[in-house]
Structure 1
Amino acid sequence: MGAGHAHKLYRHGHSPVHALPPHCKLAAALAFVIVVVSTPRAAMWAFALYAVLLAAVAAAARIPAAFLLKRLLIEIPFVAFAVLMPFVVPGERVVHVLGLSLSQNGLWDAWNVLAKGTLGVAASVILASTTELRALLLGLQRLRLPPLLVQIASFMIRYGDVITDEMRRMSIARRSRGFEARGVRQWGVLGKSAGALFIRSYERGERVHLAMVSRGYTGTMPVIDEVTASRAQWRNAAALPLAALCICLLGWTL
């Protein structure tokens, strides 16, 4: 399995969370997100407890709060979408803020998106911060994800940096010839650059495929490492989703 280099989200460490097998962490994160999404939006206290659980996991993984908060900025587009919901969602406009009439249903929907989206992103960031890309791919394979999807993800990770470097070289070549994208008139050049990048990437993919076939590739990648997990490790990984499930059940009953 390729892509052994560390990604930018990964934070090297020797914590108990880092030591868990990748498929255990993947299953725990997925189960946690499902429980969070299933929680009624009116149970605000439940989401606060979910945040406490994630904070405890981050503390156990020795992830600084600044590191986690900085990477939560990726959800800014969702925040912008949620901010607009009180203005566009139909419903009774009984809430007034700064002279603006806000939809009550829109406010609840905005809270629902923000709370569940933030918790889901935080869980994903913690997962990525404690698991290398190579381990994530092995974990997906261990969880019996279709092998073709695992291979596609592996190639995307391995050659994403290659394509990024190609884009950087093309940008340097344009600037060295005095090109600067200042307006609509330069869009044609950028469009041609995008087309050239696509052709180069396609040709590189063909060369890589021919090289793999010449080395015996038949559609499946060999498994270099076999990851396993003990019952104790599964219990440790299940602690987060099980605690969240108890909170969710209380949210539906109270």
Structure 2
Amino acid sequence: MGAGHAHPLHRPGSTRVHRLSPDIKIVAALAFVISVVATPREAVWAFGLYALLLAAVAATARIPARWLASRGVIEAPFVVLAVLLPFLEGGPRTILGLSEPGLWAGWNIVAKGTLGVVASLLLAATTSGRDLLLGLQRLRTPAPIVQIATFMLRYIDVIAANARAMRVARLSRCHDPRFLWQVRAFATSIGSLFLRSYERGERVYVAMLSRGYTGSLPSGVAERPAPRDWATALTIPAAAAAVSVAAWLTA
């Protein structure tokens, strides 16, 4: 499987988390997120314990909190929605005039969304793009999905470079669209970039067929992870599942 470019979220390292098999880490991250989502929103203490579990993983993998915080801004639109819910939601009101159901709904979005984003960032930071694809393949993910992800990862740098080159070409011609009435040039650039990407994809596909492509990509020999690696990686999601069950029992 060819994915020669490292994705921008990967932080190379030699920690124990980095050395774990990618399929184990994918299963662990998914199990952790499921436990978080299944937790009742009223169990505030449970989300604090989840945060401590993620902090332990980040410390073990030597991922700085500042790095996680800067990449976590991707959930900003959901945070804005969560902030608006106490004002827009109906139901009983608090002393400050805020909707009580809206406050719980906003808290639910922020708490679970933040934990899910951090868990995903830790997975991406400790696993290279190629290993993520290998992990998905070992977990019997449908081949078309793995292939689409492979090509997306492989050519995203090429497309980004084309976009930068087109912007430099516009600037060199003293045209830098910044206002609404100048959006036509930007839209034209996007359309041109789409056509270039489509044509490149078609050429790559034809080249693959000429080299014997039959619908599946070659992969290396899959080594079975050791049982102790499974036990190590599943410690965190097992603890999260225990917290989720305890939250429901005390709800």
Query: Which residue in 2 is equivalent to 1:24?
Result: 24
TM-score, scaled to structure 2: 0.97
The offset of 1:2, in angstroms, is 1.6
Q: Distance in 2 between matches of 1:251 and 1:204?
A: 52
Q: Does 1:191 align with 2:187?
A: yes
CA deviation profile, 1:100-156 (whole Å, cap 9, x unmatched): x21000000000011000000010011111000000000000011001100000000
Letter in structure 2 aligned against 1:65:
A
Q: Does 1:204 align with 2:200?
A: yes
Q: Distance in 2 between matches of 1:70 and 1:168?
A: 23
Query: Which residue in 2 is equivalent to 1:233?
Result: 229
1:114-153 equivalences in 2 (<5 Å): 114-153=110-149
CA contact 1:142–1:227 (8 Å) conserved in 2: no
In the superposition, relative to structure 1, how do residues 203 and 110 fare at CA in structure 2: closer, same or farther (>3 Å)?
A: same
Q: Distance in 1 between matches of 2:6 and 2:224?
A: 21
Q: Does 1:172 align with 2:175?
A: no
* Matched residues, number: 250
The offset of 1:184, in angstroms, is 2.2
Q: Does 1:247 align with 2:243?
A: yes
Q: Does 1:61 align with 2:61?
A: yes
Q: Distance in 2 between matches of 1:52 and 1:205?
A: 44
Q: Distance in 2 between matches of 1:241 and 1:166?
A: 41
Q: Distance in 1 between matches of 2:183 and 2:66?
A: 38
Letter in structure 2 aligned against 1:242:
A
Query: Which residue in 2 is equivalent to 1:213?
Result: 209
TM-score, scaled to structure 1: 0.96
CA deviation profile, 1:191-210 (whole Å, cap 9, x unmatched): 21111111111111111111
List structure 1 segments (4+ residues) > 6 angstroms apart after TM superposition. none
2:218 aligned to which of 211, 218, 222: 222
The offset of 1:95, in angstroms, is 3.6
Letter in structure 1 aligned against 2:191:
G
Q: Distance in 1 between matches of 2:125 and 2:194?
A: 31
SS in 2 for 1:102: coil
The offset of 1:181, in angstroms, is 0.8
Percent identical among aligned pairs is 55
Q: Does 1:14 align with 2:10?
A: no
1:105 aligned to which of 97, 101, 106: 101
SS in 1 for 2:9: coil
The offset of 1:225, in angstroms, is 4.2
Query: Which residue in 1 is equivalent to 2:159?
Result: 163
Letter in structure 2 aligned against 1:141:
Q
Q: Distance in 2 between matches of 1:87 and 1:225?
A: 56
- Measured on the aligned residues, the alpha-carbon RMSD in Å equals 1.1
In the superposition, relative to structure 1, how do residues 153 and 179 fare at CA in structure 2: closer, same or farther (>3 Å)?
A: same
Q: Which moved more, 1:129-138 or 1:56-65?
A: 56-65
The offset of 1:5, in angstroms, is 2.6
CA deviation profile, 1:8-30 (whole Å, cap 9, x unmatched): 21111111111110000000000
Question: Where does the alignment leave 5 or more consecutive residues of structure 1 unmatched?
Answer: none
CA deviation profile, 1:135-191 (whole Å, cap 9, x unmatched): 000000001100110000000010111111111111111111110213222111112
Q: Distance in 2 between matches of 1:240 and 1:148?
A: 31
Q: Distance in 2 between matches of 1:225 and 1:75?
A: 37
Q: Distance in 1 between matches of 2:223 and 2:55?
A: 27
CA contact 2:5–2:153 (8 Å) conserved in 1: no
